Amino acid sequence: MSSGIPANKPELLRSWALAFENAGNLQKEYDGKVCVENCIGFCQIPLAVAGPLQVAGSASPDKVYAPLATYEGTLVASCSRGCKAFNASGGIHIEILSNSMSRGPVFTFDNPDHAVIFAKQLPALKPIFSRWAEETSAHVRLQAMQPTVIGSKVHVLCSYSCGSAAGQNMVTKATQHACEMLRDSLADEFSIRGFLIEGQMASDKKPSWGNVKKARGVETLVWGTLSADACREVLGCTTYELYATQQIIKEGGIRNGQFGCNVNTVNIIAAMFIATGQDPASTAEACWSHLTSVGMHRGKLPGGKLPKPLGK
């Protein structure tokens, strides 16, 4: 969220605190309306604001703040300190590399011969499958269908664009309808015995190298430069010490078989998901990131990070 008015940070935080002052009381009004089985009440989590962070080249002159819901002490302070260091070095840059949501239905057949024939015909079936899927929403659009034959089964990774929504539920509904229509219309022609809505090729809420290669959700590239002064005055170290530390923890992560390389991206992703009403379970796939440093040059440490956030 952008800072807006007032520009003074203490006044800004007080105005936000007042806006949430009665939020706890409002929960009682929704006890009978919440869509959760056997609901007995609500849990409260401290809500804080980290930042500000300057996004270089942004169309908005405002600095960005992040809402974080967490019980972890110093998390907000640590995040804000990192923002301060980047602000002192000119801010960060952000580029969206890809944006899609996937669902991986699997079709079953009596034998591999039928499975292979069906997989080879999928490109020709894409237009009609796309039309069926897009009947379910004005926002969902089928981008691609990638078949994988495993024995007498064909897994089909369907990738969609979902407008401004992450769209997990949207693509589930679209894929379910399209698969039902395909089965009802073409089961005899292709000897389709049935289908499952998800065969785990999409790795929904689970980490996988497949989703590292092709992101499920929004894939972003974030980069910035940390100056020698910012490292020394804000982080309390030199650029060389910061660079050397990253190389050390990268070596340890490789030896331990660590999935990705980052400094606990999941802390921020989980806290932000909870604060903004996203599904916290999606942190399993959303928190993967790859933190890199591009050498040293005249006392500066350029770097980049590729987080893949996912939410509804």
Question: Residue ranges of the domains in the chain?
Answer: 45-98+213-305, 105-201
70 and 48 Cβ atoms separated by less than 8 Å: yes
- Please identify which residue in the block is written with the tokens 């994988």: 148
* Structure confidence at residue 8 (pLDDT): 72
Question: How far, in Å, CA of 154 to CA of 146, rounded?
Answer: 10
3-state secondary structure of 94: strand
Which range, 51-55, 158-162, 221-225, 290-294, is most confident? Answer: 158-162
Which band of pLDDT confidence, cut at 50, 70 and 90, is reported for residue 291? very high
Which band of pLDDT confidence, cut at 50, 70 and 90, is reported for residue 15? confident
Mean pLDDT over the full length of the chain: 88
Tell the burial category of 9 from Cβ atoms under 10 Å away from its Cβ (0-12, 13-18, 19+).
Answer: middle
For 115, other C-beta atoms within 10 Å of its C-beta total 24
Question: How far, in Å, CA of 123 to CA of 142, rounded?
Answer: 13
* Structure confidence at residue 24 (pLDDT): 60
Nearest CA to 27 among 16, 42, 40? 42
Record the pTM: 0.83
* Structure confidence at residue 160 (pLDDT): 98
* Structure confidence at residue 59 (pLDDT): 60
> Is the per-residue pLDDT at 94 higher than 80?
yes
* Structure confidence at residue 32 (pLDDT): 63
- Fold of the domain built from segment(s) 45-98+213-305: 3.90.770
Structure-model confidence comparison of residues 37 and 295, the more confident one: 37
Which band of pLDDT confidence, cut at 50, 70 and 90, is reported for residue 298? low
pLDDT digits (tens, 9 = 90+) for 238-252: 999 999 999 999 999
DSSP type of residue 256: T
> Is the per-residue pLDDT at 273 higher than 90?
yes
Average pLDDT over residues 37-62: 81
Nearest CA to 263 among 62, 82, 77, 40? 82
Question: How far, in Å, CA of 104 to CA of 145, rounded?
Answer: 9
Q: Which residues, other chains included, contact 37 with Cβ-Cβ below 8 Å and sequence gap of 6+?
A: none
116 and 149 Cβ atoms separated by less than 8 Å: yes
Percent of the chain with pLDDT over 90: 71
Percent of the chain with pLDDT over 70: 86
> Is the per-residue pLDDT at 308 higher than 50?
no
Q: Among the CATH numbers 3.30.420.40, 3.30.1490.20, 3.30.70.420, 3.10.20.740, which is that of 105-201?
A: 3.30.70.420
End-to-end CA distance of the chain: 17
Q: How many residues are there in the chain? A: 312
Nearest CA to 108 among 119, 93, 97? 119
